[in-house]
Amino acid sequence: MASVETIADRYLRLHPKSAELASEARDLFPDGVTHDARRMQPFPIFITHALGAQKWDVDGNEYVDYRTGHGALLLGHSHPDIVKAVQEQMGKGTHYGFSHELEVRWAQWVKHLMPSVEKVRFHNSGTEATMMAMRLARAYTGKPKILKFEEHFHGWHDYAAVGSGRGTGGIPEGTRSTMMVIPHNDAPLLERTLAENDDVAAVIIEPTGAHMGMYPTHPEFLGDLREITRRYGVLLIIDEVVTGFRTSPGGAHVRYDVQPDLTTMAKILGGGLPGGAVGGRADIMDMIQTKGDPAWDNENRVSHPGTFNGNPLSAAAGCKALELVATTPVNDTADLMAQRLRDGINELFQQMEIPGCAHGVASLVHYQVGVACDCDRVICNRSMDETRQGNRPQIIEPIRRALINAGVDTMSTNLILSAAHTEKNIDDTLAGLEEALAACRREQVL
């Protein structure tokens, strides 16, 4: 009897050109990649082009894509309306070094979708946006500390990286001392912490939970968080970099009817191009505004330059993306496909008698394998430690490689859907997952 090809051998056979490029990349980039989440063993795949919910690699392999530009592509790859908007703007100029109409229209779309935003300032990434939000909060309140929650990700700058569960080398102790980190979903602990510390400027949170909702935030905790922060005079920053314009057209804070003082945005905001923003109460945002008073302008206000802030290309893409969010059912379409995928994954686990579950809010899907779970497929009530058991690398990495072999690309155990995903994409994905799980079972990974 002929031997069955292993997951590793098939991966090597299907991706020879990616292997060659990875070898070159290792001499150029740390870990051979330009983003930590693109690391993969024995090497990552290299993509040539993408359209809708599909993408193709240098070896000609086709994938159903669940990275969707790290969550930036709610409309799918190369949406024709966005392509047209960017192409037209490219011919008019990419950088004017001055104000332009599109940045005004872009901000108006943000305000239309997020009524809590009174004023806005554009950046170029989510990391820049959270850095600015924290600084605005400190400047406005005159207090030095920011409270965040364990594993919640707010970018890679020094303040945000504290307590993120990711590499924190090079962060000075003085910076660490200005950050407080506690578990989420614990309202009494939050209240005690704020009662015992009167130097907290703001609390920042991923509204659906750490790592895009892999460790879910309970919706009722968001309401408690808003009430407690108001009572103690602490600002609330809701980080909608991932969830903004996705969990509802106005983001998670609109979905759950929680009014933040500041909101950070990126990803979908830029329509597939670099773009970030902070928006919120005018009195806080006006900490950026000059007054013609040297003492204020030089010592109190928050300076904000940035070469590509609100650049015309990102504004063109962002305007069109937000217009489509506001005027077409893209959220409903993506949410429906995500629900079909969640249901299918849970049914597959049951059929194959594999402990695990899939859950997620709106068009975000997260799954864990190897740990029994009985959740409502939206909010999973397992503890962080229990969820980590279902995300052990020795299980997840072979599944991930086997999924690549089967034509499905995911961000580890996170699948981010777009309005371009179809029922066929979902069915192909479930077939690919069944193939991947069977391969892992043969190799005694499961």
408-443 pLDDT, tens per residue? 999 989 999 999 999 999 999 999 999 999 999 999
Instruction: Kindly state whether residues 241 and 363 are assigned to the same domain.
Output: no
Look up the CATH number of the domain holding residue 244. Answer: 3.40.640.10
pLDDT at 3: 76
Contact residues for 347 (Cβ-Cβ < 8 A; gap 6+): none
262 forms beta bridges with 237, 280
Q: What is the pLDDT of residues 110-123, one digit of tens each?
A: 999 999 999 999 99
Average pLDDT of the segment spanning 62-84:
98
Average pLDDT of the segment spanning 295-314:
95
Average pLDDT of the segment spanning 184-198:
97
Which of 307, 327, 347 is where one domain is finished? 327
pLDDT at 342: 96
Kindly state whether residue 420 falls inside one of the protein's structural domains.
yes
Average pLDDT of the segment spanning 347-355:
94
Instruction: Kindly state whether residues 314 and 419 are assigned to the same domain.
Output: no
Q: What is the pLDDT of residues 203-235, one digit of tens each?
A: 999 999 998 988 899 999 999 999 999 999 999
What one-character DSSP code corresponds to residue 52? Answer: B
Instruction: Kindly state whether residues 300 and 264 are assigned to the same domain.
Output: yes
Asked if 395 and 370 count as a contact pair (C-beta separation under 8 A), the reply is yes
Instruction: Kindly state whether residues 132 and 180 are assigned to the same domain.
Output: yes
pLDDT at 113: 98
Instruction: Kindly state whether residues 319 and 357 are assigned to the same domain.
Output: no
What one-character DSSP code corresponds to residue 4? Answer: P
- In percent, the amount of the chain with pLDDT more than 90 equals 88
Which tops the pLDDT comparison, 282 or 387? Answer: 282
Which of 309, 327, 345 is where one domain is finished? 327
pLDDT at 373: 77
Distance CA(377)–CA(399), nearest Å, equals: 21
Instruction: Sheet containing 356-359: give its strands across.
Output: 356-359, 364-369, 414-416
Instruction: Kindly state whether residues 348 and 223 are assigned to the same domain.
Output: no
- In percent, the amount of the chain with pLDDT more than 70 equals 99
The H or E element that residue 181 is part of is: strand 179-182
Kindly state whether residue 233 falls inside one of the protein's structural domains.
yes
Q: In total, how many domains does the chain have?
A: 2
Which tops the pLDDT comparison, 373 or 424? Answer: 424
- Asked if pLDDT for residue 66 goes beyond 90, the answer is yes
Which of 327, 346, 364 is where one domain is finished? 327
CA dist 237 → 18, 98, 344 (Å): 41, 29, 35
298 forms beta bridges with none
Kindly state whether residue 257 falls inside one of the protein's structural domains.
yes
Instruction: Kindly state whether residues 288 and 361 are assigned to the same domain.
Output: no
Kindly state whether residue 427 falls inside one of the protein's structural domains.
yes
Instruction: Kindly state whether residues 120 and 261 are assigned to the same domain.
Output: yes
Query: Largest Cα–Cα distance of the chain, in whole Å?
Result: 85
Residue with tokens 């929680």: 258
Average pLDDT of the segment spanning 176-201:
97
Distance CA(159)–CA(437), nearest Å, equals: 39
Kindly state whether residue 2 falls inside one of the protein's structural domains.
no
Instruction: Kindly state whether residues 45 and 171 are assigned to the same domain.
Output: no
Average pLDDT of the segment spanning 147-154:
95
Range of 113's domain?
80-327
CB atoms within 10 A of CB 310: 22
Angle at CA 386, nearest 5°, toward 384 and 389?
A: 110
Asked if 128 and 276 count as a contact pair (C-beta separation under 8 A), the reply is yes
Size of the chain in residues: 446
Kindly state whether residue 321 falls inside one of the protein's structural domains.
yes
- Asked if pLDDT for residue 1 goes beyond 60, the answer is no
Distance CA(221)–CA(63), nearest Å, equals: 38
Instruction: Kindly state whether residues 102 and 184 are assigned to the same domain.
Output: yes
Distance CA(345)–CA(349), nearest Å, equals: 6
Average pLDDT of the segment spanning 290-299:
93
| Burial profile 2-30: b = 16 or more Cβ within 10 angstroms, e = fewer | eeeeebeebbeebbeebbebbeebeeeee
User: What is the residue-wise DSSP string for 268-318?
Assistant: GGGTTSS-EEEEE-HHHHGGG---S-HHIIIIIS-----TTTT-HHHHHHH
Instruction: Kindly state whether residues 91 and 66 are assigned to the same domain.
Output: no
Asked if 318 and 269 count as a contact pair (C-beta separation under 8 A), the reply is yes
pLDDT at 371: 80
pLDDT at 165: 65
Angle between helices 16-26 and 7-14 (to 10 degrees): 80
pLDDT at 382: 75
- Asked if pLDDT for residue 166 goes beyond 80, the answer is no
Distance CA(432)–CA(437), nearest Å, equals: 9
Asked if 359 and 216 count as a contact pair (C-beta separation under 8 A), the reply is yes
Average pLDDT, the chain: 95
Look up the CATH number of the domain holding residue 405. Answer: 3.90.1150.10
Kindly state whether residue 1 falls inside one of the protein's structural domains.
no
- Asked if pLDDT for residue 63 goes beyond 60, the answer is yes
CA dist 286 → 163, 234, 249, 362, 388 (Å): 29, 18, 26, 33, 42
- Asked if pLDDT for residue 91 goes beyond 80, the answer is yes
Side chain identity at residue 329, one-letter code: P
Distance CA(365)–CA(363), nearest Å, equals: 7
- Asked if pLDDT for residue 2 goes beyond 90, the answer is no
Average pLDDT of the segment spanning 290-305:
94
- Asked if pLDDT for residue 93 goes beyond 80, the answer is yes
- Asked if pLDDT for residue 340 goes beyond 80, the answer is yes
Kindly state whether residue 402 falls inside one of the protein's structural domains.
yes
Average pLDDT of the segment spanning 80-109:
97
pTM of the model as a whole: 0.95
Q: How far apart are the first and last CA of the chain?
A: 24
276 forms beta bridges with 123
Instruction: Kindly state whether residues 265 and 296 are assigned to the same domain.
Output: yes
Q: What is the pLDDT of residues 8-26, one digit of tens each?
A: 999 999 999 999 999 999 9
Asked if 365 and 358 count as a contact pair (C-beta separation under 8 A), the reply is yes
Average pLDDT of the segment spanning 372-393:
76
Going by C-alpha positions, the residue among 79, 84, 85, 16 that lies closest to residue 51 is: 79
